[in-house]
Amino acid sequence: MTDILKLKLLLLGVSVLLAESTAKSSTIRKDADWWKKAIVYQIYPRSFQDSNGDGVGDIPGIISRLDYFNYIGVDAIWISPVYKSPMVDFGYDIEDFKDIDPIFGTLDDFDELIREAHARGLYVIMDYIPNHTSDRHEWFVESRKGGVNNPYSNYFIWSDGKLLENGTRVPPNQWVSCFSTAAWTWSEERGQYYYHQFVKEQPDLNYRNPDVVEEMRKIFTFWLDRGVDGFRIDAIGTLYEVEDLSLEEPRSFLPGVEPHEQYYLDHIYTRDQPEIHDVIKTWRELFDEHDRKHGGHTFVVTEVYTSMEETLKYYHSGADMPFNLLFIVENLTDCGGLCFQRVLNQWLDIVPEDKWPNFVIGNHDKNRISFRKGKQYVDSLNVLLLTMPGTPTTYYGEELGLNDIDVSYEDTQDPWGKNLGPQLYRYGSRDPCRAPMQWSDAPNSGFSTESAKPWLPVHPDYTTRNVKAQMSQRGSPLHIYRRTADIRQKKEFQTSHVSFAVVNDNILSYIRYVPGCKTSGVYLIAMNLGQVESTDDYTVDVEGKGYSGGVIVLDTETVERDDSVVPLKELKLNVGQAVILRLVEKRQRDEL
């Protein structure tokens, strides 16, 4: 039996297991607020499922796993870049915005993915990278030739640079890229420097050229016409630079942080320029026109690492929301109840009343939750993510509690790590959080065939930590995630309202209910994110009703207490434990 056949039989077996517990939708909903109700799941395609045994995940692999999302309660999948690319930055350097890279499949495969996802009631969100292209993109190949009559000549940002007194030509300024290297590269062919916010193989587009703006609008239309339901806009904060290239950005080294770990200028001329929001408004006009014709709503979420003041502007320029990345940048290691409340309130306190919040705890650029906070907290943080108000985004594998892998320099794939060299690569490499998904205890975790070499090593704990095993374990992280996703469908969790209850060095707890609704239940979510067990009094008064007990809906430590009634006066939580309780009044509790 060939490895490919073995893999197909394995996929078929898991699919049968999933189908037995999955209620499929027959078609996608045309609901304008679908994105508010959805759990979004980020797929890193290279690492999700390999269908052909080459060691790299692909679109047919994703299709083979679509039932899994119904099983765990996910509503939308966000797919990291699958465009045609030389893969210098693993798909974020795009050679053709209107084609799929052969390593992932074909356009026909993508069309099938859309059809099959929609048949299961799943929305598909695509990554969109507007800031730059690959240096192999046709536009840049032509732009490098220069010439007055060349229509692509001004598609990118070019400069003659400066001529020093000694006759040496240098870049027009000392701006640095996100990799803390020079942001200008000399082109011998054109005889000018070109600007790049990322690696030199990713030249920045010139959005002051209306032809570029129109080209990028056409790309949106191309994918919308294929059935894409939304876009995650990558690195939007770098879309514009000031026109005066002689301006120098001031240096600003962060104290106590190694120079190679920081983007060491105050980026007042290369980030957060006001013109960004004008472009997004035109995109929203495009999406609205499409939605009027086809129904539903094109979802747009922007990724930008910037100040809270700048982040909030995206709520008003056409995005449904900017990603809330506070938990991505926060050091969670020693973050307890009070710390988590502070980070949550940083966002909840400033989101406009007519806008929708969101929370993200992991992504493809950051170590996994189990590394940043600790393995014992994974279940609690998944409960937190799925029970706070707004739209949650889960990074693939976090529902299993996947761990970071240890990657040698020889096996390192990420250019951020490679560029730092063998002594420092661990500071920059994002490979540890991008390891293959762990589906079963089969060789290569069921991600690929037995004889394949996955593009990154599979974590050695895959024999016990995998989907197949956790599906049959009632108290597993997957089981807890799935149950929490189901609880989240209740109306009490579909509002933007939350009120905190007991919060201290260890405990974070909060109440979810529908204000003013007589038929609304009241739910208490409590978790111990500290270092020691904690016994606290959770009795509360909600809209004039006193609650002193609760029915256990979920306990991350045991399923044996499900539906049990417990008093709130002295409720003990162990380190890493979380509970969801449906609160009952004293009279109701006595009846129970």
DSSP characters for 165-218? TTS-EE-SS--B-TTSSBSEEEETTTTEEEE-SS-TTSPBB-TTSHHHHHHHHH
Q: How high is the pLDDT of residue 127? A: 97
Annotated active-site residue 95? The verdict is no
**pTM of the predicted model, to two decimals?**
0.93
**Separation of alpha carbons 403 and 382, rounded Å:** 15
| Share of the chain residues as helix, strand and coil, in percent rounded to the nearest 5 | 30, 20, 50
Q: For 263, what's the count of Cα atoms within 13 Å in the CB-facing half-sphere?
A: 16
Alpha helices (H) in 262-367, listed in sequence order: 275-294, 308-312, 326-329, 337-348
Q: Which residue in the list 201, 234, 379, 536 is annotated as catalytic?
A: 234
Q: Which residues of 51-60 are buried (b: 16+ CB within 10 A; e: fewer)?
A: bbbebbbbbb
Q: Which residue in the list 50, 89, 93, 303 is annotated as catalytic?
A: 303
Top-level CATH class of 491-591? Answer: mainly beta
Query: Would you give the end-to-end CA distance of the chain in angstroms?
Result: 58
Cα–chain center distance at 282: 24
**The one-letter amino acid at 42:** Q
Same fold, 3-131+210-487 and 491-591: no
Contact yes or no for 493/513 (Cβ under 8 A) = no
Annotated active-site residue 505? The verdict is no
Q: How high is the pLDDT of residue 128? A: 98
Q: How high is the pLDDT of residue 11? A: 53
Q: In Å, how far are 145, 317, 499 from 148, measured between CA atoms?
A: 10, 35, 62
Q: How high is the pLDDT of residue 375? A: 97
Residue ranges of the domains in the chain? 3-131+210-487, 491-591
Say which CATH topology domain 3-131+210-487 has. TIM Barrel (3.20.20)
Cα–chain center distance at 45: 13
Q: In Å, how far are 45, 317, 533 from 572, measured between CA atoms?
A: 41, 46, 7
Q: Average pLDDT of each block of 10 consecutive residues along the chain (592 residues)?
A: 51 48 49 95 98 98 98 98 96 97 98 98 98 98 96 98 94 90 95 96 98 98 97 97 95 66 79 97 97 95 95 96 95 96 96 95 96 97 98 98 96 87 90 98 97 97 98 96 97 95 98 90 97 97 93 94 93 98 75 51
- Of the candidates 92, 139, 356, the residue with the CA atom closest to the CA atom of residue 235: 92
- Of the candidates 191, 29, 74, the residue with the CA atom closest to the CA atom of residue 488: 74
Contact yes or no for 233/323 (Cβ under 8 A) = no
Q: How high is the pLDDT of residue 260? A: 55
Q: How high is the pLDDT of residue 86? A: 97
Q: In Å, how far are 199, 260, 263, 328, 370 from 425, measured between CA atoms?
A: 16, 10, 16, 20, 21
C-alpha R_g of the chain: 25
